[in-house]
Amino acid sequence: MTKLMQVAVVGAGNMGGGMLTRLCGLGWSVAVHDIDPQVQSHAAALGAIACGSAKEAAQLLSPDGVLMVVVVDAAQTEVVLWGEGGAGPVMQPGQSVMLCPTLGPGTVQGQAERLSQRGIDFIDAPMSGGPLRAKEGTMSLMVSCSDAVWQRSQTLLNALSQQVFRVGTRPGDGARTKLVNNLLAAVNLAGAAEAMALAERLGLDPAATLSVIEASSGQSWIGSDRMRRALAGDFEPRAHVTLLAKDTGLALQAAEEVAFDPPLGRIARGLFAQALAQGWADLDDAALLQLMRQR
């Protein structure tokens, strides 16, 4: 008899891979599906059960199991849940879908409604912090779900992270919180890249200047994380330029829906659009320093 899994992870790349690594390290039973065979093989080497589709992974879930969707965007989420080989049609009442990508609130609400019609519970749970923090269990999770699902999911959420924030009960509130966070992250990153480029133009030692900033009022986590790598010439992608480019667009769309005009957000979106136009979509978003150096 096939052993039933407590968790299935669909999308085991940067963040999903970090979360899967942590769960496997803590002894959880995990099924996994990823479209990249190398990613899937790595997950299997960690002890996860490799599956040929999201549907197959969902079919291995226990009656109270959780399907964690850790893909990039709304289109991929739709395929995972309702496309060919999708998980949604085979999931059962009492099981849950935990949606982790950064999505528009309307998309999250729509998926929650479709799942609810089948009696499937929903956890709106975008994440922040990067792959290393996902592995360590120190990333942030912004969770919105019903009281019953919140209580039932405590063991899993606490295994995934020491930084779990319940931001509401309404599907989409996790997404709204993540978009606010990522808008500020984009603004902070653009500001850090601008400051470092100016430091270089002024003839300062940029690494020494960054050390001063890190101990002073200009400090930001994303600025320190990205600029340290950028100053070392390391643009290997941990978070591709495309991700914050997408997220700033979603944040501005959400702002427009409530008649709010974010001027700094518009500037940040424009800078990420310039980085994409340079052909840097697949570089780490630390590449914004390169953009600022050109000014």
Q: Which residues are catalytic?
A: 178
Query: From residue 287, how far is each of 49, 131, 241 by CA, in Å?
Result: 36, 18, 8
Q: What is the DSSP letter of 194?
A: H
Integer Cα distance of 205 and 199 in angstroms: 7
Question: Among 180, 74, 68, which residue's Cα sits nearest to residue 125?
Answer: 68
Torsions phi, psi for 235 (to 5 deg): -115, 20
| 180 token code pair | 């606010």
Question: Among 142, 145, 107, 109, which residue's Cα sits nearest to residue 126?
Answer: 142
Integer Cα distance of 44 and 39 in angstroms: 9
Integer Cα distance of 4 and 59 in angstroms: 9
Measured in whole angstroms, how far is the alpha carbon of residue 53 from the centre of its chain?
Answer: 21
Question: Among 177, 97, 187, which residue's Cα sits nearest to residue 141?
Answer: 177
Integer Cα distance of 143 and 221 in angstroms: 22
Integer Cα distance of 174 and 177 in angstroms: 5
Integer Cα distance of 232 and 121 in angstroms: 45
Question: Is residue 114 a contact partner of residue 89, using CB atoms and an 8 Å limit?
Answer: no
| 235 token code pair | 């643009």
Residues 6+ apart with CB under 8 A from 22: 134, 135, 136, 137, 159, 160
